[in-house]
Amino acid sequence: MISYRKYLEFKFNEKETVKNITNHVEMILEESGIQEGVIIISVQHTTASIFINDDEEGLIEDTLEFLDSLIPDCKVPCYRHNQSEKDAPAHLKRNFMGRSEIISVTEGQMDLGNWEQIFYADFYGTRKKKICVKVMGE
């Protein structure tokens, strides 16, 4: 079995950002030369997530609004973590959305559905954050 790893790094100026990283992951898969196996994509920060969904602007906005309604950014102290830092909502959103995705690879292509795309969501921007893309197989 072959293992190939590469990191993506992103820094955004906005507090919350969602970026389609499908093309980046496809390029890493191609570089790896692996034809059959899996890709593991994981973000290496506690206020960001990786998820798979449709790349439709309204759906992305709905997702962020849903997360905001579920985990509001309180103007008064409402999270114990906010006593030391003010990023508790970002940590909780990451807990809800998850840190990684696993995608199977067949004949050198990711096994994604017709509308499925890979997204990186940063819930507490302005810092550079890393994503590990690991391709394993033959």
What is the rounded CA–CA span in Å between residue 79 and residue 94?
15
Q: Which of 135, 134, 107, 132 is nearest to 9 (CA)?
A: 132
Q: What is the mean pLDDT of residues 72-98?
A: 79
Task: Note the pTM of the prediction, 2 decimals.
Answer: 0.92
| Residue 75 pLDDT exceeds 70 | no
The pLDDT of residue 83 is 60
Give the neighbor-by-neighbor strand order of the sheet with 17-20. Answer: 17-20, 116-122, 48-54
Query: What b/e string do you get for 51-70 counting C-beta neighbours within 10 Å, with b at 16 or more?
Result: beeeeeeeebeebbeebeee
Element (H, E) at 95: helix 88-97
For the segment 24-70, what is each residue's pLDDT rounded down to a tens digit? 999 999 999 999 999 999 999 999 999 999 999 999 999 999 999 99
List of domains in the chain:
2-137 (2.60.120.460)
